[in-house]
């Protein structure tokens, strides 16, 4: 019987195989190829994976690279890249754990 869980496991496995085939450390998802092509032309994928930001933050990083590092205009690829980065390398929730639900008698 095929379940949603089985489908998810197969999807994750397929992504892992594709990443292993490409030799990339980037998450394989929609927009992956564009990020691989545009971003790793100048720097390691490790620079991407060690950073986290929302869409606006990633766009600011792109503008900084364009203003100071010689990054070319990304054109129609920019929204695809921003969607990918924000989804796969967005901010992580941090902070304290949720309070315990303790009942006293």
What is the Cβ-side half-sphere exposure of residue 50, based on CA atoms within 13 angstroms? Answer: 5
First to last CA, the chain: 47
Paired tokens of 48: 């991407």
pLDDT of residue 28 exceeding 80, the answer is yes
pLDDT computed for residue 21 by the predictor: 52
| Percentage of the chain lying above the pLDDT 70 cut | 78
pLDDT tens per residue, range 95-104: 777 778 888 7
State the residue for tokens 């691989």: 36
Global pTM value: 0.68
What 8-state DSSP symbol labels residue 75?
T
The overall average pLDDT reported for the chain is 81
38-46 contacts, C-beta under 8 A, 24 or more apart: 38/74, 38/77, 38/81, 39/81, 42/69, 42/71
């Amino acid at each position: 019987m095929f379940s949603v869980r089985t489908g998810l496991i197969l999807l994750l496995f397929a992504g892992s195989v594709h990443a292993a085939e490409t030799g990339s450390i980037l998450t394989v998802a929609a927009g992956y190829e564009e990020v691989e092509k545009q971003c790793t032309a100048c720097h390691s994928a490790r620079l991407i994976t060690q950073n986290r930001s929302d869409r606006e933050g990633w766009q600011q990083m792109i503008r900084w690279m364009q203003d100071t590092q010689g990054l070319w205009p990304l054109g129609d690829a920019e929204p695809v890249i921003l969607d990918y980065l924000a989804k796969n390398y967005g901010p992580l929730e941090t902070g304290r754990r949720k309070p315990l639900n303790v009942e006293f008698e």
